[in-house]
Structure 1
Amino acid sequence: MGLGCMNLPHRYNDAALIMNTAIDQGINYFDTADLYDKGKNEELIGKFLKEHNKRSDIIIASKVGNAFNYEDDDVKWDPSRAHILSSVKESLRRLGTDYLDLYMLHGGMIEDNKDETIDAFNTLKRDGLIRTYGISSIRPNVIDYYLNHSDIDVVMMQFNMIDNRPEMLTEAIAAHDVKILARGPVMKGLLTDNYAEVIDRKFKDGVMDYSREELTETLTKAAQDAPLTESAIRYLLNQPVASIVSGASSVDQLTTNLAHYEQVSNSKTTTRDHFKDLDYKDHLS
């Protein structure tokens, strides 16, 4: 399991406690992005790594592609070479390190000048500022282009029993010896024991191909087989994923996720059969 840092508390001491607990429990992959809290998330991680002398123990991933400023909420997509080469320096400064283990494009569209983006990442890798690179995307056409025209090491996708669309891409990704990072393993809390409350709070109109009624019925049936979070983790462990990137906004949330992870046996049984088979319908060509 990896630690998704996006929802770390803004208060440093609270965030540091979560990160320290993660390391103590064997987590060594921290996932952030320059866009998260406009760089402050990277600063939290950088301060922690410096104060605790943990840089050599942690695989750090960050993301790039969104141009933002500190005065307003305006964010513009910018996958240009110039933006990437400039942004990496700021991420390195905030994180207090001279290299990133993994640098990902934070999105991507087929209309982008993708060759320019690829050239920027290759330049950073050649110069030693990053060790590997990849993309965080749910667009099949974009993923396909990078698989066939770049040396990406990683594709990050939302991947869980509800959003199981990545199943249609796993073989193609594996054929290029590219690893999958699975984000959103519990689908914003739906795949937890609190699913009814989460539906009321976040998904009153349903989600994806599920109406609210279908979602409630499906999760209720699945929960009768096994704890939903445990099933969600087991499902991903049975998929060709390199890491399950799970966010945590408190130590309790982190330890609960880890407890479910530790309870998962080598059994191939999951509650996957309760869920619809979904495919990507957009961005296919």
Structure 2
Amino acid sequence: MSNRTTIGRTGLNVFKIGLGAGSVGNQMMYPNVTEETGKQLVKTALDQGINFIDTAYLYGLGRSEELIGEIIKERGGRDRLVISTKASPDFKFVDGVMEIDNSRPALRQAVEDSLARLQTDYLDVYFLHFPNTKTPLAEVAGTLAELKQAGKIKAIGVSNVTFDQLLEFNTDGHLDILQVQYSLLVREAEAEIIPYCLDNQISIIPFYPLADGLLAGKYTKNDTFNDMSRMNNPLFHGEAFLDNLYRVERLKAFALKKEVETAQVALAWLLTRPGVDIIIPGAKRPDQIESNIRTLDVHLSENEIHQINEMFGMKP
């Protein structure tokens, strides 16, 4: 079986494991990941054959894009890479509510700014990161379609949308890729969002594929968290955290029998899901990237997939 695939209808050919670069240049969210470590993560990914790098303006307010751009400029080979980033123009909080200007002028400027930071003249995938905007989502999609027509971007994406927002964004059929939270522990997208994407040839890229590291099987009930990502994640709170640890322990036992890592099973399961062409786990250490790539050596039978589904449908 090939380790490469094409993302939906985009024509973008990628290694099935990408790099979610949320920790690169993003010390506000990941204070223990230095810029040098972040750069090493990207270099390791490229050295290991990964060609899809997913970043965003909000990852360090542009710093992630800058560091990735520096590495690509140094190494060359831009035409062999698939670079994905996400727009959050004029991002700010007003009375605790996030506000983003997704108007046509703001989005067009945001693309130019991302191109400059990444030191490239086109973006392979450009996502609307959040729908918090006064601009109608169908109009936002239209602006991105203009940018696609102009050659600034190759594929249109959206992230962090409800099902109704997804429908509005795709009113005119512009959407190529949806990023949605999806993992063994978060499967709400299976109800309406994923069936719609399958019916409309929209590829699905899960974010938080390891549920912010919970599915790696490294945590215990005594662990505490001081990073914003996990502190704000309900999977890590109270009884839900204990329930999730129970399920992950069962997955750990399953992985042990297969002589693979727990995270690799969780990622391999995602690659069996309809509509999921590529997964983009993040990393805080280079060895985690190497481990993620070995996911492609994990093969799950239909019976094993059924066993895993049962684990995560059970109450302790």
TM norm structure 2:
0.78
Q: 2:158 aligns with which of 135, 146, 150?
A: 135
2:68 is the alignment partner of 1:45: yes
**1:1-285 to 2 correspondence within 5 Å?**
1-8=17-24, 11=34, 13-68=36-91, 76-109=99-132, 112-168=135-191, 169-196=193-220, 200-201=224-225, 202=230, 206-207=235-236, 211-226=240-255, 227-240=261-274, 241-259=276-294, 261-268=295-302, 269-270=304-305, 271-276=308-313
How far 1:160 sits from its partner (Å)?
0.3
Question: Do the aligned residues in 2 keep the contact of 1:9 with 1:249 (CA within 8 Å)?
Answer: no
Q: Tell which deviates more after alignment, 1-10 or 185-194.
A: 1-10
Count of residue pairs brought into register by the alignment: 273
**Partner Cα distance (1:275, 1:210) in 2:** 15
Percent identical among aligned pairs is 27
Amino acid at match of 1:194: K
How far 1:183 sits from its partner (Å)?
1.3
Amino acid at match of 2:136: N
| CA 1:138–1:113: 2 relative to 1, 3 Å | closer
Question: What's the secondary structure of 2:102's corresponding residue?
Answer: coil
**Partner Cα distance (2:222, 2:20) in 1:** 20
**Partner Cα distance (2:289, 2:242) in 1:** 30
How far 1:220 sits from its partner (Å)?
1.9
| CA 1:257–1:129: 2 relative to 1, 3 Å | same
Amino acid at match of 1:108: P
User: What per-residue deviation string (whole Å, max 9, x for no partner) do you get for residues 141-161 of structure 1?
Assistant: 111222343311000011100
| CA 1:255–1:198: 2 relative to 1, 3 Å | farther
**Partner Cα distance (1:181, 1:205) in 2:** 21
Question: What's the secondary structure of 2:170's corresponding residue?
Answer: helix
| CA 1:205–1:175: 2 relative to 1, 3 Å | closer
Partner of 1:280: none
TM norm structure 1:
0.86
Q: Which runs of 5+ in 2 are unaligned?
A: 1-16, 27-33, 256-260
Alignment RMSD: 2.7
